[in-house]
Every structure is written in C-alpha cells, then in structure tokens.
Amino acid sequence: MSGHESQIRITYDSCTYITTLHKKNGNGKKVYLMKEKDRVELLKKLHEFKVDKIRSESGVAAVRDGWQHSICFGFNCIEGGTSAEMSEKDKNDFLDASRLLEDFAAMKAK
C-alpha cells in the first residue's frame, strides 16, 4: 500500500485539494477559485458519466489491502473500492468521475 490519501472539496466558488504529498512538502492544502466555466465543464462531464445512476453497496468489513474512494454530493455519497460492490459499468463510470475530479484539482489547485 502506498498510504496515499487525498481529499478534494469542490464548492460553488472554490476547489480545495489536500494530499499526503502536500502535507509531506509542508503545505497541507492547495486552493483554486472556481469560475463559471469550471462548474459548467465539471457538471457536464459528471452528467456524461451518469454519476446519479451509479449504484454501490459498501461492505461492512474493514479492508486494509485495497483502495477506497468516495464521491459525495451534499449528504449523498457513492462509495467505491475493494469492499464496494458495483456493476462493471458503474465501477468504470465511478473511476472515470473520480479521475476527472482528481485531475481537475491537481491541475487547478496550486
């Protein structure tokens, strides 16, 4: 396991990106001020991935030898990872959405 952890929080006006890499280098978080174009682009892509249709069932057992991602919209979260059960299509859509958000945050938040 790499022990890598990242947290991305996107609100209407900002994108905050925290990773263990940032913490290691002495800067705990990076922030980007969102623009209307960013919001439109992200929402369009998330709709293309049909994140509102992704179904996931999380297992109750702790897993220490895999991966875990969560995408939350308000209080509604989609859990993906080693202990989550989802169809292959939902898994691919979930991973595409996760990658989109992480790439956006890594590129924009400096």
pLDDT tens-place string over residues 2-58: 566 778 888 899 998 888 764 555 566 788 999 999 999 999 999 998 888 888 776
pLDDT tens-place string over residues 52-91: 888 877 655 555 556 677 777 776 777 777 667 788 888 8
Contact 51, 72 (CB under 8 A): no
Whole-model pTM: value is 0.75
Query: What is the C-alpha R_g of the chain?
Result: 15
Q: Which of 39-77 are b and which e, b meaning 16 or more Cβ less than 10 Å from the residue's Cβ?
A: eeebeeebeebebeebebebeeeeeeeeeebebeeeeee
Of 88, 89, 87, 49, nearest to 71 by C-alpha is 49
User: What is the strand order of the sheet 6-10 is part of?
Assistant: 6-10, 14-19, 30-33
Domain layout of the chain by residue ranges: 6-107
What the block records as the tokens of 107 is 């590129």
